[in-house]
Amino acid sequence: MSLLKIGTSMLRKTKSSRGDFVFSADRLIRLVVEEGLNQLPYTECTVTTPTGHKYEGVRFEKGNCGVSIMRSGEAMEQGLRDCCRSIRIGKILIQSDEETQRAKVYYAKFPPDIYRRKVLLMYPILSTGNTVIEAVKVLVEHGVQPSVIILLSLFSTPHGAKSIIQEFPEITILTTEVHPVAPTHFGQKYFGTD
Amino acid sequence: MSSPPAFSSVRISGCWALGPDGGNSSAESLDRLYPAVGSTKPPRKRTTSQCKSEPPLLRTSKRTIYTAGRPPWYNEHGTQSKEAFVIGLGGGSASGKTTVATMIIEALDVPWVVLLSMDSFYKVLTKQQQEQAASNDFNFDHPDAFDFDLIIATLKKLKQGKSVKIPIYDFTTHSRKKEWKTLYGANVIIFEGIMAFADKELLKLLDLKIFVDTDSDIRLVRRLRRDISERGRDIEGVIKQYNKFVKPAFDQYIQPTMRLADIVVPRGSGNTVAIDLIVQHVHSQLEERKLRWDMAALASAHQCHPLPQTLSVLKSTPQVRGMHTIIRNKETSRDEFIFYSKRLMRLLIEHALSLLPFQSCTVQTPQGQDYEGRTYSGKQITGVSILRAGETMEPALRAVCKDVRIGTILIQTNCNTGEPELHYLRLPKDISEDHVILMDCTVSTGAAAMMAVRVLLDHDVPEDKIFLLSLLMAEMGVHSVAYAFPRVKIITTAVDKKVNDLFRIIPGIGNFGDRYFGTDAPPDWSDDEDALST
C-alpha cells in the first residue's frame, strides 16, 4: 500500500525533522492498531437506526488488553488509547544484560486477570526478535496462551519475524513492512534521546 | 470615469452624494459626508467591484453572509445550462450610472448580483504617463486607458459562472494592487463604465445595454460640485480638465455609443419608470434561467445501474462494521457517537490519501543504506468541508495531513423548494492545482455534494482532482454525483440502498450534524449526558 510506503519513507529518512518523524510514526501506529483490533473476536448483532430501520452489524467482545514492551513500545500506547479509550495496558521492561548481552526482563506489570484476556503486544521494531521472545515468555508465565497474542509492530526484519514464529508458531504478527534493514533509531528519535 | 488621480475615496462618496433620489443631491447629504472624506482619505472602496445588493447580505470586513442562498445554477449533468445575465450600463461621466445600478440591484431583490466597474480595469501607467497624470495631462477618458482584453476575459469567465479575479486599481500610484479581489457566483452581472459600449467584442457579451443619458449641463454641475466640495479642487482646474478631456471624450466615444443601447434612460436615476421596466425585463430573463430538476426522477433513472468505477468503499473490516453498528444505533450516547465517528473518519481519510498519486523516491537512512520509498506527487492537498456536518471531519484530516489548508462551503436545503442553496463560501487561494478533499458526513440525494463540486469546478479545480469523502452515502447520491461528474472520486465507508421521502438515508445514521453537535432535541430535555461529559 502506497500510503504505508510514504510513512515508512518519512521514518527512514535521516533528514526528516523530529516533528515529521513523530507525526508519521503516529499515523503508522494508528493504522497498525486499527488492523490489530480487526483480529479480535466479535459477534453479529442488530441495532435500530434513528430512522427506525434495522442495521445488521457486529459487536466486539470484551476481555482484551494491551501490553507494551518498554521503552519503544510505549510510543504505541497512545495509538491504542485513541482507538480503545479504557483498555487496560500492561508493561514489560526488557534490557540487554550488560555482561551476557542477552535480553533480560527487569520489570513486568499486568492486569491481574491477563490469563483470560486477548493481548495486543506492542513493540515497534523487530530486529532480532529476541526482546519479543522474552516478553512472550513472561506472558506465558502469567498464563497467557500464545495463540491469543497479537504482536503489533511497525518494522520487522525477515529474520526477526522468523525467529519469533519458530519459538511461538501460534502468535499473530502485524507489521507495516518486512525489510532486511530495520530503522533501529526509532526509539531514540521518537523520544528525542538521540 | 474621468476621475483624476490622487483623490482616493471620492468616487464612492460622490455616488452617495448623488443619492438614491437621483441627481438632486442635497447639501445635507454632502455635509454628512464631510468628516469621512476630510484629510484622512479612506481607501477608494468602489474599485473593488463588489456586489452592492445590500438587502440579502450581511457583510463584515472579511466575510459575506448571504441571508438568502443561491439556488442551483447548473443542471443534473452538472453543467451550467444558461449563462449569467449581463447588463451593460454606459453613459457619460457623472451621469448617475452607479445610482441606476444600485437602484436596479435594489429593485431586483435577488441574491447573487455582482456589480463590475470599469474603474477596476484602468491600465497600469508607465512612468511617463504617471507624470502626465500628476499634472492632469493624462487622458483617463480615452478607450486606450482601459485594459479591454482583461475586461472581456473577466466578463466571459464570470458569465460562464466561473470564479474570477478583479484587479484593484490604486489611483495614487496608477498601478494594480498586489492582491486581487475574487468575484464568484452571479446570476446577474451589472457592468458599468463610461466606455462600456466602446469595444465590439465586449458588446457581444452584454445581454442588455442601457445608456444613462443625463444632460451635459447637469453632469458638469455634478462634476463641479463633486470635485470642488469633495476633492478640494479649484474651479479653473475642473473646467480645464472638463474641456480638455471629459467633453471631447464624451462627444467622440461615449455619445455615439448611445445608438448601440437597447434602452436609453433619460434623466438617469430620477427616471423610476425606466428602471421599473428594466427590472421587469431582467426578472423575466431570470425566470427563463431558473432550473427545476426533479431529484426523484433522477434517482429512479439510475436505479438499476451498477455502482460507478469512481466509487471506492472502505474495506468492510470487523472494526469498520463494529463502528458502523455503534454510530448507527439510535441508543448510542453522544459521547460514543462522537468518538467512534471520529475513528471512522480517520480511517476514511487515510483510505482517501492512499488514492492520491504517488511517485518513487530514494531516501538515505541512518543505517547507511538507501531506501526506495514513495512520496506524494501532487502540488498540495486542500480540504474543503461542507458545513455543518462536513466540518466534523476537519480534525481527522488535520491529524493525517500536516498544515493542510481548509476551506468551507455552507449549503442549506431550502425547506420550501427542497433545493440546496449556497449560502457561504470561503476557499483558500489558488486551489486550482491542488488535490481537493471535499468532506461531507452523509450524502443522500447528492444535491449538496453536487453543488459543492460545481463550486470547486467554477474555481478551476480539475474534476479528477476532486475527492468527495463521506462516512455514509446512499446509492442515489453516488449515482447523481457520478453521473454529473464522472471523474470525481467518491470515497465512503458504506453505501446504503435507499433514501426515504424526506431524503434521509435508509437504514442510515440519522441526522449526523444533529447527533454530533447535540442539536437534536431530546424528548425529555435531560441534561444527564452533559453532566457526564463535563
* Chain position carrying cell 490519501: B353
Q: Is the ipTM of this complex over 0.90?
A: no
pLDDT band for position B291 (cuts 50, 70, 90): low
CA proximity to A40, closest of A131, A174, A155: A174
pLDDT band for position B418 (cuts 50, 70, 90): low
Cis omega (within 30 of 0) on the bond before B522? no
Smallest CA–CA distance from A194 into chain B, residue? B366
pLDDT band for position B328 (cuts 50, 70, 90): very high
Quick one: pLDDT at residue B19? Answer: 30
**Would you give the DSSP letter of residue A84?**
S
Q: Taking the CA atoms of A61, A62, A68 and A69 in sequence, report the sign of the dihedral they define.
A: negative
Shortest Cα–Cα distance, A85 to chain B (Å): 9
Give CA B304 to chain center in angstroms: 37
> Under 8 Å CB-to-CB from B302, ≥6 apart: which residues?
B475, B476, B479, B480, B483
Smallest CA–CA distance from A31 into chain B, residue? B347
Query: What does the mean pLDDT of chain B come to?
Result: 78
With an 8 Å Cβ cutoff, the interface of chain B facing chain A consists of 317-319, 321-322, 324-325, 328-331, 339, 343, 346-347, 350, 353-354, 358, 361, 363-367, 369, 371, 373-376, 399-400, 402, 500, 504-511, 515
pLDDT mean over B168-173: 76
**Cα–Cα distance for residue pair B165/B424, rounded to 1 Å:** 18
pTM of the model: 0.74
- Residue predicted with more confidence, B169 or B349: B349
Question: Which strand (E) or helix (H) includes residue B455?
Answer: helix B447-458
Residue B165 CB-density burial (10 A; 0-12 exposed, 13-18 middle, 19+ buried): middle
Quick one: pLDDT at residue B14? Answer: 27
CA proximity to B488, closest of B409, B384, B405: B384
List of domains in chain B: 57-289 (3.40.50.300), 296-517 (3.40.50.2020)
Quick one: pLDDT at residue B26? Answer: 37
> Residue B351, SS3?
helix
pLDDT of residue B450 exceeding 70, the answer is yes
CB A122 within 8 A of CB A76: yes
CA proximity to B238, closest of B8, B174, B230, B250: B230
Quick one: pLDDT at residue B299? Answer: 59
pLDDT of residue A44 exceeding 90, the answer is yes
pLDDT band for position A36 (cuts 50, 70, 90): very high
**Cα–Cα distance for residue pair B52/B50, rounded to 1 Å:** 6
Cβ contacts (< 8 Å) between B358 and chain A: which residues? 2, 5-6
- pLDDT > 90: percent of chain B: 19
Residue B383 CB-density burial (10 A; 0-12 exposed, 13-18 middle, 19+ buried): buried
pLDDT of residue B48 exceeding 80, the answer is no
**Cα–Cα distance for residue pair B274/B279, rounded to 1 Å:** 9
pLDDT band for position B473 (cuts 50, 70, 90): very high
pLDDT band for position B45 (cuts 50, 70, 90): very low
Among A64-68, A160-164, B124-128, the minimum mean pLDDT is found in B124-128
Task: Identify each DSSP E strand in B381-511 by its residue range.
Answer: 381-387, 405-413, 420-426, 435-439, 442-443, 466-470, 472-474, 489-492, 495-496, 498-499, 505-506
Quick one: pLDDT at residue B417? Answer: 66
- pLDDT digits 0-9 by tens, A125-175: 998 888 999 999 999 999 999 999 999 999 999 999 999 999 999 999 999
pLDDT mean over B204-212: 90
Cis omega (within 30 of 0) on the bond before A71? yes
> Under 8 Å CB-to-CB from B31, ≥6 apart: which residues?
none
**Cα–Cα distance for residue pair B122/B118, rounded to 1 Å:** 7
Residue B336 CB-density burial (10 A; 0-12 exposed, 13-18 middle, 19+ buried): middle
Quick one: pLDDT at residue B290? Answer: 65
Quick one: pLDDT at residue A1? Answer: 53
- Residue predicted with more confidence, B192 or B44: B192
> Under 8 Å CB-to-CB from B203, ≥6 apart: which residues?
B88, B197, B209, B260
pLDDT of residue B534 exceeding 70, the answer is no
**Cα–Cα distance for residue pair A113/A142, rounded to 1 Å:** 9
**Cα–Cα distance for residue pair B307/B495, rounded to 1 Å:** 10
* Chain position carrying cell 513500545: A73
Half-sphere exposure of B205 (CA within 13 A, CB side): 28
Contact B325 A47 (CB under 8 A): yes
Residue B500 CB-density burial (10 A; 0-12 exposed, 13-18 middle, 19+ buried): middle
CB B351 within 8 A of CB B494: no
Smallest CA–CA distance from A42 into chain B, residue? B318
pLDDT band for position B55 (cuts 50, 70, 90): very low
- pLDDT digits 0-9 by tens, B364-404: 888 778 888 888 888 899 999 998 889 999 999 998 888 89
> Under 8 Å CB-to-CB from B241, ≥6 apart: which residues?
B2, B4, B136
Q: Which residues of B202-234 are buried (b: 16+ CB within 10 A; e: fewer)?
A: beebbbbbbbbbbebebbbebbbbbbebbbebe
Cβ contacts (< 8 Å) between A10 and chain B: which residues? 373
Q: Say if strands B358-364 and B311-313 run parallel, antiparallel, or are unpaired.
A: unpaired
**Phi, psi for B211 (deg, rounded to 5):** -110, 125
Among B32-41, B77-86, B321-330, B375-384, the minimum mean pLDDT is found in B32-41
Cβ contacts (< 8 Å) between A13 and chain B: which residues? 363-365, 371, 373
Neighbours of B367 (CB within 10 A): 14
